[in-house]
Amino acid sequence: MIVGHYNLLKLFPNFKDSIKENGIDLSIGQVYKIHKDHKVCGSIDGEKHLPTYYKLKPTNNSYYKLLPGQYYFIEIDRDITIPKGYCQFYFLRSTFSRCGLVLADAVGDDSFNGRLMLGVYNSSPQSIYCGLNERIIQAVTIQNDGTALKYDGDYQDNRIYKE
């Protein structure tokens, strides 16, 4: 069952300004660009090999310019805690989809805590502009059947990025 407006307000009080009818609009906190470094990238036998990336500086302190054919990480503007018994699916807001931006699929697991960092790809032939703190992703929360194990993977509390 999708969790609606009033229950989202109870579950995510620190996002009350971003809660809409059936989801939470998540805003850009920081944008990162993948740095081509010719390292192994992926996962082999459960060992993660993440790409090197660097923070983009916003143009005129007001927007990010995402170049055509390039992949980026969008870090959300604040930590999120997904309560026990729930999970989330993430969707790109339709304005950005219509411009040619593509969101890499992701699921926020039961009991996840941390700063979301999601991948986006500019599939269009032109640059896409994203304002600072712009609403870019919608989180849809669903209640699970209560048997999910608590998430404690590499991304919990952003451990993998602190190494």
Question: What is the DSSP secondary-structure string of 11-75?
Answer: H-GGGGGGB-SSSEEEEEEEEEEEE------EEETTEEEPPEEEEPPPBTTTEEEE-TT-EEEEE
Q: Which tokens go with 41?
A: 């990238």
105 vs 57 pLDDT, higher one: 57
Q: pLDDT confidence of 158, banded at 50, 70, 90?
A: confident
| Total-model pTM | 0.89
What pLDDT, on the 0 to 100 scale, is given for residue 160?
67
Q: Which tokens go with 82?
A: 């997904």
Burial of 24-50, coded b for 16+ CB within 10 Å and e otherwise, reads bbbbbbbbbbbeeeeeeeeeeeeeeee
Angle CA(34)–CA(66)–CA(72) in degrees, nearest 5? 30
What pLDDT, on the 0 to 100 scale, is given for residue 161?
63
Q: Is 44 within the bounds of a domain?
A: no
Inter-residue contact 40 to 139 (CB < 8 Å): no
Q: Is 55 within the bounds of a domain?
A: yes
Q: Is 162 within the bounds of a domain?
A: no
Q: What is the CATH number of the domain that holds 102?
A: 2.70.40.10
User: Which domain covers residue 119, as residue numbers?
Assistant: 5-39+50-157
Q: Is 132 within the bounds of a domain?
A: yes
Q: Is 65 within the bounds of a domain?
A: yes
In the chain, the number of structural domains is: 1
42 vs 58 pLDDT, higher one: 58
Phi and psi at residue 90, in whole multiples of 5°? -115, 135
